[in-house]
Amino acid sequence: MASALRIDLSDVYSSLANYSADGLVISDPRGVVTCCNPSFARLLDRRPEEIIGHRLEAIIDCSCLHQVATADGISEGPPALSLASAESTGLHNAVVVARNGMDLTVPVSHIAVQANGSQPSGYLTVVYIVQASSVQQAQTEFVSTVSHELRTPLTSIKGFADTILRAGDRLDLSQQRRYVGIIKDQADRLTRLVEDLLAVSRLESRRLQLTIRAIDLLEAVQRVVRNLADKARDHKIVTKIGPGLPPVWADADRLEQILTNLVDNAIKYSPAGTTVTIAARDLDSHPEMVEFSVTDQGAGIPHEHQPEIFNKFSRLDNPLVRQAEGTGLGLYITRSLVLALGGQIKVASRPGQTTFTVQLPAATLEEQAARGKG
């Protein structure tokens, strides 16, 4: 009975190759393709027999990489097979040339096929089509959303500028000022969107420059409250930060950006006349961290939508949110900055109250002395 249930591993591998959504290519030591699976052939819009016998470098442009992964580590490979870097055996981008001449940038892995430390008998190239498609779809959706967000203020700016140009002489001074005010507001909105997009770009490309030092949290909070005083004229801002709170290890500008985003959101998405509370404390259970929170008295965030609010361009669909201008990038940027500073952020919400809580590393006297010596 056991023998009847035994499965030939070669059949398993054959099924995996034939039905895999990712591309698999086998080439000999000279770099000539000896086999490929249907997914790779479909990616190139060719039949497998049209690919077999051609050099791999004619199909996959790998000129920027110099080494291949082997069972024992990294070794030099033929120039045509240079798909893996010396850093790791991880993914690397390569350009695949399709029949129609379109270049497709996809992540690939290139692995030497060898047994017991012998010389490679060939190479397996894995082309991660599914991952590339997901990235491309995300990029397409991002560009589409950005285009929509840019179009809205640009339409207003152009419309009111055209009105002033056409009917300027017939408009009284109050109308002219109102139209110019709208143009300025929309230009400011456009500026904020561009600044947020640049921040997202820096975060996702790992080009964010951080200058970490011990920062007094109370002073940072007071500075943010002063900067937002005009926006908060219809709200009451309460701070609850007791004495003896240790400083936090953070970048001063990024910490101020985190606080500004959270307090600005609390003001923007809660009714006039309500209170925004900023509190901070050290944690007995985690003395290496300092915790601060921002609480508003707004409509609240439904539980099912709370995991989405840190996504790019995420905005809740309720009247209070719709009437407040925003890019939908603030909380995404805030979470990214908190993580970059070695902290964490979470949200708790119910109707009439939402609290964002942030934990950042504490700059205790011991830590400051240790870093000073370092």
- The secondary element (H helix, E strand) that includes residue 74 is strand 73-76
Residue 281 bridge partners (DSSP): 291
Render each residue's pLDDT in the chain as its tens digit; 374 residues.
445 556 677 788 888 888 888 899 999 988 899 999 999 988 888 888 989 998 888 888 754 334 444 444 444 444 434 333 333 345 677 778 776 666 677 888 888 887 666 777 888 888 888 777 666 666 666 666 677 678 878 888 999 899 888 887 888 888 888 989 999 988 888 887 888 777 777 777 667 788 899 999 999 999 999 999 988 999 999 999 988 899 999 999 999 999 999 999 999 989 999 999 999 998 888 888 999 999 999 989 988 888 888 887 766 655 544 455 556 788 988 998 999 899 999 999 999 999 999 999 998 766 666 665 44
Q: What is the model's pLDDT at position 286?
A: 82
Give every CB contact of residue 241 below 8 A, 6+ residues apart in sequence: 217, 218, 221, 278, 279, 280, 292
Q: What is the model's pLDDT at position 326?
A: 56
Q: What is the model's pLDDT at position 76?
A: 47
Give every CB contact of residue 43 below 8 A, 6+ residues apart in sequence: 23, 96, 98, 104, 127, 129
Q: What are the structural domains, with CATH classification, of the chain?
A: 2-127 (3.30.450.20), 135-204 (1.10.287.130), 212-373 (3.30.565.10)
Closest CA to 227 of 264, 192, 201, 195: 264
Check: pTM over 0.75? Answer yes or no: no
